[in-house]
């Protein structure tokens, strides 16, 4: 089957038997414009010529940062010079905290996706707010929308955004960027973290306000953008039973909370759909992720299978798919041979046994099925598959030299194995 993806005939991208193929023989006045990770590009003419306009769009779940259109100029260059980028806001819906709370305007208002709901701290010296991303990301940009001005008499303030992994000592985390100047009502500030060679990496993003006098901090929304994130669109799709999916550390987690099943039936259901039922883990990171997801869905009233059972012979606890004893568990025999997640277990890091024939909610763990659209450098063409495990092959247009890896792979964590190469123009001097 052949399917046209882009309308530009001379740079035609088509699907052939499940593979995506880009025509490498196009000769264009401006050259192929390229596109960034997670984006697609379309054209308003059948061949690239002066005044040809490109339109960029991001995959679902990603935000376009920068001009969404570019035009081919008479001098054979694209304007603007660089394409926009597609990045994901990884702060949305994540747990947040602030130095204090006034008028019940809590920190979650900064990450609820609604710019009409804002946080508010008490009047204090150096108020701050931070977001727990639940996993580490290379942070490219942070956008903060403030509610209240600061301060009277045109007093200058200093706002600092930090990114790192120290939650108990936020001021020791690396600085993303800083702004010093006046702060007006409903101002929006964009902090680029890409000024250094590599963006800062961390799970905690904090905003600190420093003024010569005590003041309050009110944030209506904070956006934390990264290129290295997955979208739930990369996960498998199952229509026969409703569930809600989320992603953590390169895996898709489907929360089945509307049709409880016995442990046996839940295990079969996950396996039948190419995944497995979530197993208990000693990872504090995964435990924190689950605790937050349970809270968002159920607050404190929930029960989910956790995949630990009692061995019928030794009576020791073991993982559902494992043979070795689960040594960290020491629940004495009670006649109950299965275990569960519930609020008390998650909060107290304890264990809870239950009967195996009960019907509880469950979580299926899956791998992503795609890495999304790869980055395509200017003046390049690609041959690619669309699924995990497939390879992407880059070719440069005539007169250009490929710098970097000519092939990269889509890994089973939904990310590409390497960065895309560049196609450098070969400019030769006059012969001697």
> Three-state SS for 181?
strand
Residues of the chain with CATH 2.10.70.10: 26-87, 370-431
**Which class is domain 370-431?**
mainly beta
- The CATH superfamily of 96-226 is Galactose-binding domain-like (2.60.120.260)
Question: Whole-prediction pTM value?
Answer: 0.85
- Find, among 298, 409, 428, the residue nearest to 363 by Cα: 298
Please state, in angstroms and rounded to a whole number, the distance separating the CA atoms of residues 22 and 396. 11
Q: How is domain 26-87 classified at the CATH fold level?
A: Complement Module; domain 1 (2.10.70)
Closest CA to 114 of 140, 148, 145, 159: 145
Grouping H, G, I as helix, E, B as strand and the rest as coil, residue 418 is coil
Per residue of the chain (432 residues), what is the pLDDT tens digit? 323 233 333 333 433 333 443 443 333 468 899 999 999 999 999 888 999 999 999 999 999 999 999 999 999 999 999 999 999 999 999 999 999 999 899 999 999 999 999 999 999 999 999 999 999 999 999 999 998 777 666 788 899 999 999 999 999 999 999 999 988 878 899 999 987 778 999 999 999 999 888 999 999 999 999 999 999 999 998 776 667 889 999 999 999 998 999 999 999 999 999 999 987 666 778 888 999 999 999 988 999 998 888 888 877 888 887 666 566 666 666 778 888 988 887 887 667 889 999 999 999 999 999 999 999 999 998 998 778 999 999 999 988 999 999 999 999 999 999 999 999 988 776 666
Condensed to tens digits (0 to 9), the pLDDT of residues 328-379 reads: 666 666 778 888 988 887 887 667 889 999 999 999 999 999 999 999 999 9
**H/E segment holding residue 322:** none
Strand partners, 141: 192, 225
User: Domain spanning 242-366: which superfamily?
Assistant: Mannose-Binding Protein A, subunit A (3.10.100.10)
Using CA atoms, how far residue 419 sits from 270, 307, 376, in Å, is: 33, 37, 10
């Amino acid at each position: 089957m052949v399917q046209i993806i882009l309308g530009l005939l001379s740079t035609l991208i088509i699907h052939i038997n499940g593979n995506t193929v880009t025509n490498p023989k196009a000769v264009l006045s401006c050259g192929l414009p390229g596109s960034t990770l997670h984006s697609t590009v379309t054209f308003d003419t059948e061949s690239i010529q002066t005044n040809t306009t490109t339109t960029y769009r991001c995959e679902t779940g990603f935000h376009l940062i920068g001009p969404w259109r570019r035009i081919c100029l008479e001098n054979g260059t694209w304007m603007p010079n660089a394409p926009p980028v597609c990045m994901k806001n990884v702060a949305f819906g994540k747990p947040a905290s602030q130095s204090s709370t006034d008028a019940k305007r809590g920190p979650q208002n900064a990450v609820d996706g609604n710019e009409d709901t804002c946080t508010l701290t008490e009047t204090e010296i150096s108020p701050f707010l931070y977001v727990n991303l639940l996993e580490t990301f290379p942070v490219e940009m942070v956008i903060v929308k403030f509610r209240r001005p600061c301060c009277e008499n045109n007093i200058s303030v200093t706002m600092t955004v930090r990114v790192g992994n120290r939650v108990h000592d936020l001021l020791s985390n690396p600085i993303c960027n800083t702004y010093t100047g006046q702060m007006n009502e409903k101002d929006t500030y964009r902090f680029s973290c890409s000024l250094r060679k590599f963006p800062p990496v961390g799970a905690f993003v904090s905003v600190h306000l420093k003024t010569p006098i005590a003041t309050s901090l009110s944030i209506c929304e904070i956006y934390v953008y990264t290129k290295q994130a997955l979208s739930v669109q990369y996960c498998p799709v199952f229509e026969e039973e409703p569930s809600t999916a989320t992603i953590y550390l390169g895996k898709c987690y489907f929360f089945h909370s509307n049709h409880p099943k016995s442990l046996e039936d839940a295990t079969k259901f996950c396996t039948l759909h190419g995944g497995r039922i979530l197993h208990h883990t000693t990872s504090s990171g995964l435990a924190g992720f689950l605790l937050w997801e349970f809270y968002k869905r159920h607050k404190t009233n929930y029960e989910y299978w956790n995949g630990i059972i009692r061995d019928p012979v030794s009576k020791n606890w073991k993982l559902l798919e494992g043979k070795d004893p689960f040594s960290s568990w020491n629940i004495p025999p009670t006649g109950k041979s299965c275990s569960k997640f519930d609020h008390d277990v998650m909060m107290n890091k304890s264990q809870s046994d239950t009967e195996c024939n009960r019907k509880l909610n469950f979580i299926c763990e899956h791998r992503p099925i795609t890495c999304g659209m790869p980055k395509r450098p200017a003046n390049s063409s690609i041959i690619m598959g669309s699924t995990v495990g497939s390879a992407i092959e880059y070719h440069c247009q005539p007169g250009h030299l490929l710098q970097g890896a000519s092939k990269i792979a889509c890994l089973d964590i939904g990310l590409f194995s390497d960065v895309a190469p560049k196609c450098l123009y070969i400019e030769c001097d006059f012969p001697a």
